[in-house]
Amino acid sequence: MKHLFLISIIAVNTALSSVKAVTTDDVIEPILQRISTSESSKDRGFYMSKYEVTVAQFSQFIADTGYQVPKNCMAFTDTRWPDPQNPASWDLPVFIENPYRPVVCTGIQGALDYANWLAQKTGKPYRLPSESQWRQAALAGKAGRMAFADDFQQREICNYENTEDIANIAGFKKHHQVRYKRSANCNDGAVYHTVVGMYRPNQFGLYDMMGNVREFTRTCHEYSDAQRTDCKRYVVAGEAWHWQPRGVNVLDWIDRDFQGGLEGIRLVLEADDLGSVTAATMKFSEQLNNAQNVQRSHHAKLKMIPATPTGVKVGSDKNKSIKISWLDVEGEGNKYAVYRAISDPANNLATHFVLLVDELQSPEYTDITVPEQAYVRYQVFSYNEYGEGLGSHIVAYGNAKIFKESERIEAEHFFDGQYYWLGKRESATIVGFSDNPDHFPTGVKPHKPAWVKVAFEAKQTKHAQLTFRAMAEQDSGFELWQGAHLVGRYHIPKGDKFTTYHAAALLIASNEPLEIRLDKQVWFELDWLAFK
């Protein structure tokens, strides 16, 4: 089967490279599904392509017209990170070696021009979908986040979509030494965009509506002129392999001149009748089926990435060394890595999670390198030849420093938190509070406030002056809480350097932790704070 598939790829690529003019009979048209609309819908019934437009289909447009797609694409591959100084193009070898993957890096203009060419070539009114058409098709008559389920726990998504998942996180760690902290709780078997139609379709028979690549629409989001004739930004729909889905109805957009490797094309046919189907289209459908079968074997390998270690425990032995243990993860060839974060105010030391040890073959490790009186946290990962799975829950050992109300509180010595980062600024260790932990570039971003907790003790209830040193590139702010008591909300003005600010605070007598919580949905960095 693999041999036959390679022959079909060679045949497609050879044919595309040699064609000077594509005849109507040669055109690979979209494989269409009828989309019914409700009586209240402003859209009449239409046809939509089952799959995203592939490299094979778009290549016909290039071969027939000599169309020049700008070579300024921001794209990921296993050896490439988006870089304006080293842009990619739609025909990058890794993008076109498999002609059954969706074409990317065309930009909205390339998508519009491809649709116009196909309409002229076939005499059929193909075009990009409108925003309302796309959403109607994506939800398939359902209500909620996605057609198949709301799936707030992100456990079912991998049956239906190529999304940001265990395979994707493992691939980025393996290829780019970058590990994103969030992932769907499942494994779809793909790192980057994959062959179209690999997962379950929605109830309208459409594939990859909320994964693989985002999809252009013809709907304008923002015009550059008062006459509304020149579109500056277009609505883009769905999500890609690089993100977890926000939901069908979440608004997003893309600049007209942006070329990206995460956006693709899907077409609609606004007609009452399909018309005839070309022999080239039927042959393409057969070849696509072969390609999907081959791709499933690749997906199966990545689905062998080991599970998350569970049952993680930490304690000390008679030598005061720290022993970490966990349950063995099933599977052949699995190994373990342990990461450690340290908070040691006595020695002015605070670190984010860094690799402590790897290549472990048994589910335990003894740490003999911890400074006395330090507060340490550990996270365990399992991995094999295919990649590293998701990290275990974090376990901690020792006692976090309890700051008194009279002490300067160094933010990096927190004992718990989420959506934060540690960094060095002007020789100081700072804590950053992320406003976008899911790394969405545009559109409506989920509100997931970052926070950290510092052990804190106040002896009496009183009004105080809060002093803090912080920086934000745009106006931002944070809240301070002692348990359920709001100490205050604080504004950080826009600036390009760390600045000391003063504000009022109301403390209560309590030993509840002091929680520093992002208020506005704009990131900031904090060095320290103090009460007087």
Give strand pairing partners of 471: 525
If you write DSSP's letter for every residue of 28-57 in order, what string do you get? -PPPEEEE---TT-SSPPEEEESSPPBHHH
Task: Write out the two tokens for 344.
Answer: 């040691």
Among 417, 488, 482, CA closest to 450? 417
Rama region for 299: left / alpha / beta (φ>0; ψ in -120 to 50; rest):
alpha
Helix (H) or strand (E) holding 167: helix 166-176
Give strand pairing partners of 485: 482
In eight-state DSSP terms, residue 27 is -
As a whole number of angstroms, the distance between CA 205 and CA 423 comes to 47
Residue type, 132: S
- Per-residue pLDDT of the chain (532 residues), as tens digits, is 333 333 344 344 434 444 457 887 899 999 999 998 765 566 678 999 999 999 999 999 999 999 999 999 999 999 999 999 999 999 999 999 999 999 999 999 999 999 999 999 999 999 999 999 999 999 999 988 999 999 999 999 999 999 999 999 999 999 999 988 889 999 999 999 999 999 999 999 999 999 999 999 999 999 998 888 899 999 999 999 999 889 999 989 999 999 999 999 999 999 988 888 899 999 999 999 999 999 999 999 999 999 999 999 999 987 789 999 999 999 999 999 999 999 999 888 999 999 999 999 999 999 999 988 899 999 999 999 999 999 999 999 999 999 999 999 999 999 999 999 999 988 899 999 999 998 888 888 888 999 999 999 999 999 999 999 999 999 999 999 999 999 999 999 999 999 999 999 999 999 999 999 999 999 999 999 999 9
| Domain residue ranges in the chain | 2-302, 307-399, 400-532
As a whole number of angstroms, the distance between CA 5 and CA 73 comes to 29
Whether domain 400-532 has CATH 2.60.120.260: the reply is: yes
Range 2-302: architecture per CATH: Alpha-Beta Complex (3.90)
**CATH of the domain spanning 307-399:** 2.60.40.10
Count of C-beta atoms within a 10 Å radius of residue 455:
19
As a whole number of angstroms, the distance between CA 212 and CA 102 comes to 8
Say what the pTM is.
Answer: 0.88
End-to-end CA distance of the chain: 74
